[in-house]
């Protein structure tokens, strides 16, 4: 139901269960920000209307206050570079799950309009905000800045937590104070946006961030392309936070009556620290963003590290038999299965030629699906539909489909031949949709697709876009990707699709409405994964974080880590395997079989539960610990990893969190390898005791007289009467 111009007073109160956003929206005046934080009572709302000065525009624009940072800058058709926006109307739409408030503003001179939208969810503490810009001017209006949102944050002892990294080292965490000047977090990859940084941040308002206490603002830009997050700490009493599309080389020529919509910025507030903000993001993500976010994910084996490009029918059948024997539910055949004129033997050729290589797979994909059925599991496949190689039939037929600078030689990526298809082109969008549609039409029993993206936009140019709109490339690429994904999801809503992009390059809430999960990193080293998965969990739930048991020595780091530790780390996300089972001993297979069975028991807790991070590996005290708790708080899974090994070392005892203080919990260790059980095995403790004292965890394992240098524990807690 839409209620038009419902505003009677000048204040707008936008709220969720536990937080409030207050704006001043006096008709004919600038839209002003008043308050964002803990939910206000009616009395407090009435009082702040009288006492809190509306200091800043809620969506500042350029031209009449040029010294300030702005969310929107344009050049009108007549050359004027100024804006002066005034509130024209306020509308409210009340749906089943959310209330969306839209404030329409008009320039005081030009027929230029901005709609600022706020979508407040009723059952999770999240507000999404975005803008829609359009105009009725006679010519083109050039947009040079177009942030999704602006938020002033009161100065004090404010810290920012954000993620950074590189290929194989994604999701690393940094927490630092906000100091005078400008802090920017940007991406310019063009295709993937979360290898080197993330479009999500948290602001701790009470000094250096704590996990389960302290006031926290979380912000996540729901966008798959280039972004810019900026905090300007100026001479005022506030930090000025802006988030939106990175406008570098992306100015946008807005036609008359065209609407430009910015991606949403999701905002949350909590008094329960970093983990509290994470719980809000996870609940919102599972319920409203992530594809099939309420469906438990299968335990799978992926073929990549097992055989790399050496795909063959016998080998795939053997791997399927092995994972089935260990209790797995799905087998995924990775790269190397396609290409006729140019068979895919390595990464130098064949992308775009999505026909089965019958020399490797005589009975084709259907033969593998039939084999999977024989073994009682599902079958999945790898594709990279946004890319091609210069050595491919697709490139020979459609050289104009690739992104290329006019009058320049192609800049080539992976394998010395990889290039990016131009998704601004509707024909390319049709092709990308067709890659999935053709597979699913031929093989309707396909259960899973691993969708990879292994190249950046290295040279700027589109054969499809007009010469005047070449600056639209980065934006229109992701519009095209979204259109293709929307078509795929409309036709195949239950198909499981993983967002892989050279590993963790697509961990963002812009693509996840169309993907069920993402590959956290190509680096499967369990010790390094402790750090990467810790940071990634700030904004993304375990159900979306693919975490696999891999070989030792590890293929990326060469580190030799015991299987028990590798299993325990993988079990804190969506469990899978990235290994060649025929190279495992019978004891190793037995341990994995037991772990898979135990993971299935705790899967609802891990994938759907509330996270409580307890001890950060970034504190460098030799230990990392976290836990997941059911919403009912009747079951929990506690993880403990020793990250350093020294003689006569001393580690802290870890108090738990998230339990009911007045309930009792029975302790059971999962994946046990020790000759003797823990002294706490089978014992019952109150939630109060566990949250005040924790449990004493041995620093090492005792296995057949050996003492491994890595140790880890997974404890299952269940409420008892």
What digits encode the pLDDT tens for the residues 142-200?
Answer: 999 999 999 999 999 999 999 999 999 999 999 999 999 999 999 999 999 999 999 99
Q: Which two tokens stand for residue 205?
A: 């308002």
Q: What is the pLDDT of residue 3?
A: 39
Asked if 315 and 248 touch (Cβ cutoff 8 Å), the reply is no
Strand partners, 175: 161
Cα torsion angle, 301, 302, 304, 309, sign: positive
For the beta carbon of residue 13, count every other beta carbon within 10 angstroms.
Answer: 18
Q: What is the pLDDT of residue 608?
A: 98
CA distance 510 to 570: 25
Is residue 704 very low, low, confident or very high in pLDDT (cuts 50, 70, 90)?
Answer: confident
Angstrom CA distances, 283 to 278, 279, 605, 608, stand at 9, 6, 13, 8
For the beta carbon of residue 400, count every other beta carbon within 10 angstroms.
Answer: 13
Q: Give the three-class secondary structure for 589.
A: helix
- The helix (run of H) or strand (run of E) holding residue 307 is helix 304-307
Asked if 713 and 696 touch (Cβ cutoff 8 Å), the reply is no
CA distance 57 to 255: 26
- Helix 473-491 vs helix 426-442: crossing angle, to nearest 10: 30
Closest listed residue to residue 427, CA positions, set 505, 472, 484:
484
Q: What is the pLDDT of residue 302?
A: 98
Q: What is the pLDDT of residue 5?
A: 37
Asked if 529 and 567 touch (Cβ cutoff 8 Å), the reply is no
CA distance 98 to 89: 20
CA distance 64 to 287: 42
Residue 605 sits at φ, ψ, to 5 deg, of -70, -45
Q: Which two tokens stand for residue 662?
A: 């007045």
Asked if 459 and 406 touch (Cβ cutoff 8 Å), the reply is no
Is residue 8 very low, low, confident or very high in pLDDT (cuts 50, 70, 90)?
Answer: very low
- The helix (run of H) or strand (run of E) holding residue 567 is helix 563-570
The mean per-residue pLDDT over the stretch 555-582 comes to: 97
What digits encode the pLDDT tens for the residues 446-463?
Answer: 999 999 999 999 999 999
Asked if 636 and 628 touch (Cβ cutoff 8 Å), the reply is yes
Q: Which two tokens stand for residue 103?
A: 């404030």
The mean per-residue pLDDT over the stretch 351-377 comes to: 98
The mean per-residue pLDDT over the stretch 36-62 comes to: 93
What digits encode the pLDDT tens for the residues 111-137?
Answer: 999 999 999 999 999 999 999 999 999
Asked if 661 and 687 touch (Cβ cutoff 8 Å), the reply is yes
Residue 449 sits at φ, ψ, to 5 deg, of -125, 130
CA distance 483 to 478: 8
- The pLDDT of residue 529 is above 60: yes
What digits encode the pLDDT tens for the residues 300-317?
Answer: 999 999 999 999 999 999
Strand partners, 201: 162, 219
Asked if 401 and 464 touch (Cβ cutoff 8 Å), the reply is no
As a three-state string, the secondary structure of 53-91 is CCCEECCCECCCCCCCCCCEEEECCCCCCCCCEEEEEEE
Closest listed residue to residue 226, CA positions, set 533, 471, 519:
471
Q: Give the three-class secondary structure for 262.
A: coil
With b for 16 or more beta-carbon neighbours within 10 A and e for fewer, the 118-155 pattern comes to bbbbeebbbbbbbbebbbebeebbbbbbbbbbbbbbee
Q: Which two tokens stand for residue 130?
A: 């975005």
DSSP summary character for residue 400: G
- Strand residue runs (E) in 263-326: 265-270, 300-302
- Helix 364-375 vs helix 313-325: crossing angle, to nearest 10: 20
Q: What is the pLDDT of residue 9?
A: 47
Asked if 161 and 173 touch (Cβ cutoff 8 Å), the reply is yes
Q: What is the pLDDT of residue 65?
A: 86
CA distance 267 to 601: 34
Range with the lowest mean pLDDT among 40-54, 512-526, 610-624?
Answer: 40-54
CA distance 489 to 421: 21
Long-range contacts of 488-494 (CB under 8 A, 24+ apart): 488/433, 488/436, 488/437, 488/514, 489/291, 489/513, 489/514, 491/437, 491/440, 492/436, 492/440, 493/291, 493/292, 494/292, 494/295
- The pLDDT of residue 485 is above 90: yes
Q: What is the mean pLDDT of the chain?
A: 96
Q: What is the CA radius of gyration of the chain?
A: 27
Asked if 471 and 252 touch (Cβ cutoff 8 Å), the reply is yes
What digits encode the pLDDT tens for the residues 74-103?
Answer: 999 999 999 999 999 999 999 999 999 999
Q: What is the pLDDT of residue 707?
A: 67
Angle at 386 between CA 381 and CA 392, to 5 degrees: 85
Closest listed residue to residue 361, CA positions, set 375, 374, 343:
343
The mean per-residue pLDDT over the stretch 343-352 comes to: 98
Q: What is the DSSP string of 125-161?
A: S-EEEEEEEEE--SS-EEEEEEEEEEEEEE-SB-EEE
The mean per-residue pLDDT over the stretch 640-660 comes to: 95
Q: Which two tokens stand for residue 315?
A: 């080998």
Asked if 523 and 169 touch (Cβ cutoff 8 Å), the reply is yes
Angle at 632 between CA 626 and CA 633, to 5 degrees: 40
Q: What is the pLDDT of residue 703?
A: 87
Is residue 4 very low, low, confident or very high in pLDDT (cuts 50, 70, 90)?
Answer: very low
Is residue 54 very low, low, confident or very high in pLDDT (cuts 50, 70, 90)?
Answer: confident
- The pLDDT of residue 24 is above 60: yes
Percentage of residues of the chain with pLDDT beyond 90:
95
DSSP summary character for residue 504: B
385: Cβ contacts below 8 Å, ≥ 6 apart? 354, 431, 432, 435, 436, 451
């Amino acid at each position: 139901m839409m209620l038009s111009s419902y505003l009677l007073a000048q204040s707008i109160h936008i709220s969720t269960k536990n937080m409030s956003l207050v704006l001043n929206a006096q008709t004919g005046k600038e839209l002003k920000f008043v308050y964002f934080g803990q939910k206000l009572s009616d009395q407090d709302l009435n009082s702040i209307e009288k006492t809190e000065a509306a200091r800043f525009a809620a969506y500042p624009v350029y031209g009449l206050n040029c010294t300030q940072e702005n969310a929107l800058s344009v050049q009108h058709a007549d050359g004027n570079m100024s804006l002066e926006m005034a509130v024209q109307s306020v509308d409210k739409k009340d749906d089943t799950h959310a209330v969306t408030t839209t404030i329409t503003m008009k320039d005081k001179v030009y027929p230029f309009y901005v709609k600022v939208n706020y979508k407040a969810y009723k059952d999770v503490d999240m507000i999404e905000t975005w803008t829609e810009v359009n105009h009725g001017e006679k010519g083109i209006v050039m947009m040079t800045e177009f942030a999704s949102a602006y938020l002033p944050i009161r100065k004090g002892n404010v810290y920012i937590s954000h993620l950074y990294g590189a290929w194989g080292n994604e999701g690393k965490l940094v927490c630092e104070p906000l100091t005078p000047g400008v802090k920017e977090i940007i991406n310019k990859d063009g295709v993937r946006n979360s290898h080197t940084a993330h479009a999500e941040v948290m602001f701790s308002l009470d000094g250096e961030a704590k996990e389960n206490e302290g006031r926290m603002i979380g912000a996540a830009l729901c966008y798959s392309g280039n972004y810019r997050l900026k905090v300007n700490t100026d001479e005022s009493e506030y930090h000025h936070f802006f988030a939106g599309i990175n406008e570098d080389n992306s100015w946008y020529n807005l036609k008359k009556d065209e609407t430009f919509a910015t991606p949403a910025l999701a905002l949350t507030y909590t008094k329960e620290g970093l983990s509290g903000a994470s719980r809000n993001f996870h609940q919102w993500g599972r319920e409203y963003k992530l594809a099939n976010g309420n469906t438990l994910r299968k335990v799978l084996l992926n073929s990549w590290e097992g055989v790399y490009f050496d795909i063959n029918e016998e080998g795939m059948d053997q791997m399927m038999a092995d994972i089935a024997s260990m209790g797995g539910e799905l087998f995924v055949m990775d790269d190397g299965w396609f290409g006729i004129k140019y068979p895919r033997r390595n990464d130098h050729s064949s992308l775009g030629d999505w026909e089965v290589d019958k020399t490797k797979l005589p009975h084709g994909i259907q033969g593998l699906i039939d084999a999977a059925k024989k073994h009682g599991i599902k079958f999945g496949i790898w594709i990279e539909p946004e890319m091609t190689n210069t050595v491919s039939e697709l490139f020979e037929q459609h050289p104009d489909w690739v992104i290329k600078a006019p009058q320049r030689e192609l800049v080539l990526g992976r394998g010395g031949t990889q290039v990016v298809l131009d998704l601004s082109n509707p024909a390319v969008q049709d092709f990308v949709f067709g890659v999935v549609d053709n597979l699913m039409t031929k093989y309707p029993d396909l259960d899973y697709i691993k969708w990879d993206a292994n190249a950046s936009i290295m040279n700027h140019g589109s054969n499809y876009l007009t010469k005047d709109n070449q600056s639209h490339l980065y934006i229109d690429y992701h519009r095209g990707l979204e259109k293709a994904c929307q078509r795929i999801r409309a036709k195949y809503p239950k198909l499981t699709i993983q967002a892989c992009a050279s590993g963790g390059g697509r961990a963002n809430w812009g693509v996840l409405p169309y993907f069920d999960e993402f590959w956290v990193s190509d680096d499967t080293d369990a010790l390094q994964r402790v750090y990467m998965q810790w940071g990634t969990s700030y904004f993304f739930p375990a159900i979306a974080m693919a975490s696999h048991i891999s070989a030792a020595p590890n293929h990326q780091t060469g580190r030799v880590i015991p299987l028990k530790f590798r299993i325990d780390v993988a079990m804190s996300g969506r469990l899978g395997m990235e290994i060649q089972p025929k190279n495992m001993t019978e004891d190793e297979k037995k341990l994995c079989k037991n772990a898979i069975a135990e993971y299935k028991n705790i899967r609802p807790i891990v994938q759907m539960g509330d996270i409580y991070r307890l001890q950060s590996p970034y504190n460098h005290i030799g230990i990392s610990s976290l836990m997941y708790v059911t919403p009912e708080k009747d079951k929990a899974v506690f993880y403990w990893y020793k990250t350093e090994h020294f003689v006569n070392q001393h580690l802290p005892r870890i108090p738990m969190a998230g339990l009911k203080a007045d309930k009792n919990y029975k302790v059971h260790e999962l994946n046990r390898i020790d000759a003797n059980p823990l002294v706490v095995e089978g014992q019952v403790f109150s939630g109060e005791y566990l949250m005040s004292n924790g449990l004493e965890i041995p620093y090492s394992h005792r296995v057949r007289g050996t003492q491994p240098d890595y140790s880890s524990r997974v404890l299952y807690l269940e409420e008892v009467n």
